[in-house]
Amino acid sequence: MIEEGRRVLLIGNGREYFVRAGAGKLSTDLGTIDLAALVGKVAGDQITTHLGTDFIIRVPKAGDFFSHAPRTGAPMLPKDIGLVIAYTGMCRHDRVLDAGTGSGIAAIFFGGIADSVTSYEHRPEFAERARKNIEEASLPNVEVIEGDVLSANGTYDIVHLDLMVGPGHIEHAYSLISPGGYLAVYTPYIDHASLVLGAAEGLFSEVHSYESIEREITRTRNGTRPSTRICHSGYVTIARK
């Protein structure tokens, strides 16, 4: 059942609206929807504008937050988040430390899988935005800490870094990871990936760096072909303790 303040997607007529159930109205060229009427409904229910256009209610998943949630910067793409999840084997037993929270998108993906996620963000406005996005994703197992990840302590099964890293970050991550656990580092440039490789190879038993190339397939009347969008985003380095 959809509660007041919960984010929902409204799908219909080739449109998609990311709204919050509760006070207020959504005004479109297809009519107006009273957002308070969403409270108490469930996924799959219909809601109708005052002009008679029907929309299907959908409860958003992590990918929907990537597409629609307010951002403070450019988040990791789902394909790179997927690499982190797949190569670390992230599961419901894992304690995850995430750093470089940004808008909280990676933390939202991780929070739907892991036992707990602790995410560090040193910029106050980014941390606040991430908290709001995570709260709207209904993930009480995800905590955002405003501060430097180098001050983190404890033991984690997976440490994920999406920030400007130096050797000190790699060394500190190693001290936090339980035996058999993983470090995952996202870097936008190959120079930074090389730095991570150099720092990690002296500490971790297994170190690999990956680039995921993604091409969306588009279909038109003329035929089907790969999209011309840029398919490179960055590099993901995975190291096992």
Mean pLDDT over all residues of the chain?
Answer: 95
Q: In the prediction, which pLDDT does 51 show?
A: 93
The reply to whether 216 and 116 lie within a common domain is yes
d(CA 78, CA 142): 18
The reply to whether 152 and 51 lie within a common domain is no
Distance in angstroms between the alpha carbons of the first and the last residue of the chain: 43
Cβ neighbours around 25 below 10 Å, total = 12
pTM of the model: 0.93
Over residues 12-70, the pLDDT tens digits come to 988 999 999 999 999 999 999 999 999 999 999 999 999 999 999 999 999 999 999 99
CA torsion through residues 166, 193, 241, 88, sign: positive
Over residues 170-208, the pLDDT tens digits come to 999 999 999 999 999 999 999 999 999 999 998 999 999
Looking at residue 22, which CATH number applies to its domain? 3.10.330.20
The reply to whether 26 and 113 lie within a common domain is no
What domain range includes position 125? 64-240
Burial pattern 127-155, b for ≥16 Cβ within 10 A else e, equals bebbbebbbbbbbebbbbbbeebeebeee
Tell whether the model's pLDDT for residue 164 goes beyond 80.
yes
Tell whether the model's pLDDT for residue 227 goes beyond 90.
no
- If pLDDT is split at 50, 70 and 90, which confidence band does 130 have? very high
d(CA 152, CA 99): 10
- If pLDDT is split at 50, 70 and 90, which confidence band does 73 have? confident
The reply to whether 49 and 79 lie within a common domain is no
The reply to whether 113 and 221 lie within a common domain is yes
The reply to whether 226 and 125 lie within a common domain is yes
Looking at residue 111, which CATH number applies to its domain? 3.40.50.150
Residue 2 resides in a domain: no
The reply to whether 80 and 183 lie within a common domain is yes
Q: In the prediction, which pLDDT does 74 show?
A: 86
The reply to whether 74 and 119 lie within a common domain is yes
- If pLDDT is split at 50, 70 and 90, which confidence band does 89 have? very high
Evaluate whether 183 touches 207 at the Cβ level (below 8 Å): no
